[in-house]
């Protein structure tokens, strides 16, 4: 008789408990913290902007040839994994007069890694404007002498900087030089923010191919 009740419990009670657990998880979905609002818009300087897109912001600098490894890490670990999401993009900021170097990098990524580069958006700005955009993130790091940074940032559809704020401190950006940092932190955080927007779309009754 006891075995019968055990079987009934497994068949009926446990699935109900599992359902309630996952339903509760949806309602209490952990969002990626907002670290800074009103990241400076670049729409005055480019057709590319942060509004209505989940952007990976990358300050590549003028020494693009030296940053190819960083770009490759981001391409392989982040871009190729998530670019099918409709509202996802890379925004790669470079100084004016580095257009040829950027084209060379794009060609190498496209041909060498079989990458569809349509969501790699290169934006060329004056050094002063690059500094203004970077400063609007209000991070704990600075641009280097080439107006670049090894750190990449997640900017949401409302031009807010997203990252981590927990017991280990605030994590504004992710080190593009470090595969460990990208794998251990950035991949998960991009998943979280994309899931956040998927959930918002579903709640509003919007369906997308990328869902």
Query: Taking a C-beta distance cutoff of 8 angstroms, is the pair 161, 154 a contact?
Result: yes
CATH class of 34-203: alpha beta
Residue 10 burial (CB count, 10 A): 10
What pLDDT digit, counting tens, does each position of 157-192 carry? 999 999 999 998 999 999 999 999 999 999 999 999
DSSP string computed for 152-200: EEEE-TTS-EE-EEETTEEE--EETT-HHHIIIIIHHHHHHHHHHHHHH
What pLDDT digit, counting tens, does each position of 11-48 carry? 544 554 443 344 444 334 478 999 999 999 999 999 99
pTM above 0.85, yes or no: no
């Amino acid at each position: 008789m006891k075995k019968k009740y055990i079987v009934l419990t497994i068949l009926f009670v446990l699935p109900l408990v599992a359902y309630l657990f996952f339903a509760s998880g949806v309602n209490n979905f952990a969002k990626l913290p907002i670290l800074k609002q009103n990241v400076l818009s670049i729409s005055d300087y480019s057709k590319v902007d942060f509004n209505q897109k989940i952007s990976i912001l990358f300050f590549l600098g003028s020494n693009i040839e030296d940053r190819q490894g960083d770009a490759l890490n981001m391409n392989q670990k982040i871009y190729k994994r998530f670019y099918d999401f409709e509202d996802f993009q890379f925004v790669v900021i470079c100084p004016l007069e580095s257009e040829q170097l950027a084209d060379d990098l794009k060609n190498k990524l496209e041909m060498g890694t079989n990458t569809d580069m349509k969501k790699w958006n290169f934006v060329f700005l004056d050094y002063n404007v690059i500094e203004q955009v970077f400063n609007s993130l209000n991070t704990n790091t600075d641009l280097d002498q080439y107006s670049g940074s090894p750190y990449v940032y997640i900017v949401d559809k409302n031009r807010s900087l997203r990252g981590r704020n927990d017991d280990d401190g605030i994590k504004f950006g992710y080190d593009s030089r470090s595969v460990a940092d990208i794998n251990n932190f950035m991949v998960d955080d991009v998943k979280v923010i994309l899931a956040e927007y998927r959930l918002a779309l579903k709640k509003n009754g919007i369906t997308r191919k990328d869902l």
